[in-house]
Structure 1
Amino acid sequence: MNDAGRSAVFGELSEFRQDFYASLRRRADALFELSDAVLCTDGPVTSLVGLSLAAEHHRGHGALYDAVNNGVVEVDRLRRAVIGLPLPRDRDGRIVLTVDVSAWLRPDAGTAADRSFCHVYGRGRNAAQMIPGWAYSFVAALETGRSSWTAVLDVVRIGPLEDATTVTAVQVRDVIDRLREHGRWCDGDPRVLIVFDAGYDVTRLAWLLRDLPVDLVGRLRSDRVLYLPAPVPVPGQVGRPARHGGVLDLDEPAGHPDPAVATISETTRYGTAFADAWDRAHPRPARRSGWAEHVGQLPIIEGTAIRLRVDRLPGERHPKPVWLWASATGLTASEVDRIWQAYLRRFDVEHTFRLFKQTLGWTRPRLRDPQTADRWTWLIIAAHTQLRLARDLTTDLRRPWERPPAKPGRLTPARVRRGFRNIRPRLTQPAGAPKPTRPGPGRPPGSRNKHVRTHPPVGKTQHQNATTNHNKQQKV
């Protein structure tokens, strides 16, 4: 990068820091310095109070806790600042987003409110657990090629009484509206591609977002059953016309009809990839869960079922096929390949979650208030956004035992953070100098805390009680 390009990037990063500081409505100086301490401290963040010892944090540990507990972050303004930055696009100029949930586990926080049971994978087979914590839904823009970088655009905490599918639909709709507002997507641009992993009801999401310029792709369980389009009624046929056609049982490959599209691609990591697509495949929704309150006849949501098979997978001798469902129909061979390749890029967000938790210390603080956890989460997102903007400005401070990057300018977020302290003096510093003060007297010696915290229940207790009472009334 030449000097003009570096100056432009420095200006863009400084402008974002100004916008970030403007979004801090209370305890702004302490919160801003706390974010800089996350970026500049040596090694991973292991505790919240340890950040007060960083050279970039000019205040004491009391001011740090006061900022985290009593500060105010104008989230809407910070959202606009993040989404107003340049976004990565694929080779066709298309924005590819992914939505995934990461859990902040708080099993020992008995007085923390709004906890729900979060699904956590174990190391062994069938070792998954449900642990109390806060579930956060992230929306991030994906880059092309193998990368550990993503552009986190939004985060929402899913409450215990909220429907995850409804919350995700509202979150995606807000992100698309902000993309339009800032000119990141205009009429005539390629439709935004949104990728989901298993666990999302992608067909219901496609129905809830049917009025948006988006194409949804989600992974299906291998035991699902889909249906092909109903045959055209024969003249003179008696009876109600059929709504569903042939059966596509994903777990019974012998009974699969011929696919509409079949492609073969060569990959460096997985060997030969075979993709088969069935057009206008749709599930048969049942009037339960999210469809329980649907008015009228249940809709038929058609899409494209894609079966992906590869020669090899890391750690598996005989890899099983992966089933995907896309909300678009009438796909060509190149579009089918683009969809399953975009799904493989979805796993880049796992690197971002690992960076948040293991390096930036997202889940390290033992916070009790969920609103305080939301505030700290947005500070981590602001810090990660600054790393993304500074990825071409820092030099590689490689340890002797580490491998050099494969290509120039391909530093990982952790290595960019290692050199962020060196470029920080050239960036704008909107935070003011601390004012000298004395600590308060604290609690008088011998007195006890008479404010006893309540122990709220975990999970959908209120919703389950209401449903149980409703069922009892119906039986009576």
Structure 2
Amino acid sequence: MVSVHDPVRGAAFGELRRFRQEFYACLTARADAVFELADAVLCADGPVRSLAELSLVAEHRRGHGSAYAAVVDGRIDVERLRTALAGVSLPRAADGRLVLAVDITCWLRPEAQTSPERILCHTRGRGKGQAIMIPGWPYSMIAALEPGRSSWTAPLDFQRLAPGDDAASVTAAQLRHLLDRLMAAGQWRQGDPDVLIVADAGYDGPRLAWLLRDLPVQILTRLRSDRVLRRAAPPRDPTFIGRPPRHGGEFIFADPATWGVPDVSTTTETRLYGTATAQAWDRLHPRLTRRAAWTGSGDLPIIAGTVIHLQVDRLPSGATPKPVWLWWSGVHATDTTSPADVDRLWQTFLRRFDIEHTFRMIKQTLGWTCPKIRSPAAADRWTWLVLAAYIQLRLARPLAADLRRPWEKPAAAHRLTPARVRRDFRHLRTKTACPTAAPKPTRPGPGRPAGQPNQRPAQRHDVHIVTATTSTRTSKKNTATTKPRPRRRG
């Protein structure tokens, strides 16, 4: 029972109960089967391996056939569920700012020849650390980050990338719709600090900033170490005849002689990385060219920002540290940006890697990529089911007890990991809303007669190799005459 003298636990139970009721209201077909399947994901004793094994969990009161039917034939009102996710309590930075991380993770399906809309996904860490392309379904995820060191995030949106989609355009549309829902839910009001969006080097930060320039957001992305940016154009010489220059001198990441004196410099002592030195240069922009996404009419925009160079003494893994280059959409560092702001930015970027803990949790423990689902629609349905299960774990975080293993160290209540909260969810479930009805007795169908082969084989689909951001031109390389890779000009 929840004590009436503990308002914190009472409020947490109320929010968890409301979300479970709202999640059930979002299920428009086979609601009982889908809801109990989500409870089975949360209450299973170990990692989820298959849908058939979930039917053996006590919280799943239906047969194994209903588990497959829930994924294949169930229906979820995704827009209503997205609205419910925007209304739950979200973590905020020390200054009250919302920090959102965007990233793409893949559901690899290399042998699913009957599954349509598969795309070659860039995968690392297999074999000897080589980067290989594996067919699968890529998903773009947006999650709110916590300020300190944590393995928790607050996922807010998932969207599968279809063949031919541009990742930057899809992510920008995702963020635009998400910010509209956050404003409608009261998570951001006029006068609040701008929402900070953090992304890795796979995203084009200046383009995201340009696509979202009418929203109260700031973009913080990592840049490759071979980039070349441009300074602001110098004042026009009145004696000069002709078109004035649009770009200033080059800022070459690989050439310190072109850096000049930084506008802001700071040094911080850290426990994990030793001495961290950050330098910032104001009003640097890439020189855009008319290709890929910049093929419209008119002059190409000048997207200025602040570049931050971070260098640390050591890494926790023991590897040799390499410099990190960050691009922030804010400008005028010499006027409004202090060394504390620069430290806040690079420390916030390090928190972006917390989203990797969420990916590992939903894949290895909640079994997001375990079912062998054929259709992309069923994959999307299962994705939202797993996402709703993870959100329930996050809401149950202040309520769970530490059911640790004998070899595990004790953890404080606010330091429990998602896996430890999941161990106690079975006991918390009985105190929350369980709106499903009792299952009706049924008999299994006759199935295909024995000895009769399948007369309608499933259709085979090709893997989509190119997307909107991938060039279709191929070139033959001659190892004897191959020139060194030129530096990137933008």
Q: TM-score range by the shorter chain?
A: over 0.9
Give the whole-Å Cα distance in 2 for the aligned partners of 1:278 and 1:419.
49
8 Å Cα contact 1:122-1:129 kept in structure 2:
no
Secondary structure at the aligned position of 2:430 is classed as: helix
Equivalence for 1:170: 173
Give the whole-Å Cα distance in 1 for the aligned partners of 2:52 and 2:132.
30
8 Å Cα contact 2:401-2:413 kept in structure 1:
no
Structure 2 residue 123 is the aligned partner of structure 1 residue 120: yes
Give the whole-Å Cα distance in 2 for the aligned partners of 1:455 and 1:241.
57
Secondary structure at the aligned position of 2:290 is classed as: coil
Q: CA deviation at 1:276?
A: 0.6
How do 1:131-150 and structure 2 match up within 5 A?
131-150=134-153
- Residues 281, 111 of structure 1: CA spacing in aligned structure 2 closer, same or farther, 3 A cutoff? same
Equivalence for 1:285: 288
How do 1:261-340 and structure 2 match up within 5 A?
261-292=264-295, 294-331=296-333, 332=337, 333-340=339-346
- Letter of the 1:426 counterpart: K
1:456 to 446, 453, 461: 461
Equivalence for 1:473: none
- Letter of the 1:394 counterpart: A
Equivalence for 2:435: 430
Q: CA deviation at 1:456?
A: 1.7
- Residues 462, 116 of structure 1: CA spacing in aligned structure 2 closer, same or farther, 3 A cutoff? closer
Q: Which runs of 5+ in 2 are unaligned?
A: 474-490
8 Å Cα contact 1:161-1:460 kept in structure 2:
no
- Letter of the 2:328 counterpart: A
Give the whole-Å Cα distance in 2 for the aligned partners of 1:174 and 1:261.
35
Equivalence for 2:48: 45
Equivalence for 2:228: 225
Give the whole-Å Cα distance in 1 for the aligned partners of 2:147 and 2:49.
32
8 Å Cα contact 1:282-1:300 kept in structure 2:
yes
Equivalence for 2:477: none
TM-score normalised by structure 2 residue count: 0.92
Secondary structure at the aligned position of 2:136 is classed as: strand
Equivalence for 1:380: 386
How do 1:50-449 and structure 2 match up within 5 A?
50-123=53-126, 127-292=130-295, 294-331=296-333, 332=337, 333-405=339-411, 407-449=412-454
8 Å Cα contact 2:220-2:349 kept in structure 1:
yes
8 Å Cα contact 1:217-1:325 kept in structure 2:
yes
Q: CA deviation at 1:424?
A: 0.9
Q: CA deviation at 1:317?
A: 4.6
Deviation track 1:165-217 (CA, whole Å, cap 9, x = no partner) reads: 11111001111111111111011100000000011111111111111100001
Equivalence for 2:480: none
Q: How many residues were matched structurally? A: 466
Q: CA deviation at 1:448?
A: 2.2
8 Å Cα contact 1:221-1:323 kept in structure 2:
yes
8 Å Cα contact 2:166-2:467 kept in structure 1:
no
Q: CA deviation at 1:246?
A: 1.5
- The alignment's C-alpha RMSD in Å is 1.8
Secondary structure at the aligned position of 2:177 is classed as: helix
The farther-off stretch of 154-163 and 119-128 is 119-128
Secondary structure at the aligned position of 1:341 is classed as: helix
Q: CA deviation at 1:90?
A: 0.7
The farther-off stretch of 100-109 and 309-318 is 309-318
Structure 2 residue 10 is the aligned partner of structure 1 residue 4: no
8 Å Cα contact 2:292-2:469 kept in structure 1:
no
- Residues 310, 54 of structure 1: CA spacing in aligned structure 2 closer, same or farther, 3 A cutoff? same
- Letter of the 1:31 counterpart: V
Give the whole-Å Cα distance in 2 for the aligned partners of 1:3 and 1:180.
30
Equivalence for 1:472: none
Give the whole-Å Cα distance in 2 for the aligned partners of 1:312 and 1:60.
54
TM-score normalised by structure 1 residue count: 0.95
Deviation track 1:249-293 (CA, whole Å, cap 9, x = no partner) reads: 01112331111111111211111111111101100111111113x
- Residues 113, 449 of structure 1: CA spacing in aligned structure 2 closer, same or farther, 3 A cutoff? same
Secondary structure at the aligned position of 1:193 is classed as: strand
Equivalence for 2:484: none
Q: CA deviation at 1:446?
A: 2.6
Give the whole-Å Cα distance in 2 for the aligned partners of 1:311 and 1:396.
36
- Letter of the 1:359 counterpart: T
- Residues 445, 466 of structure 1: CA spacing in aligned structure 2 closer, same or farther, 3 A cutoff? farther
The farther-off stretch of 29-38 and 121-130 is 121-130
How do 1:18-33 and structure 2 match up within 5 A?
18-33=21-36
- Letter of the 1:366 counterpart: K
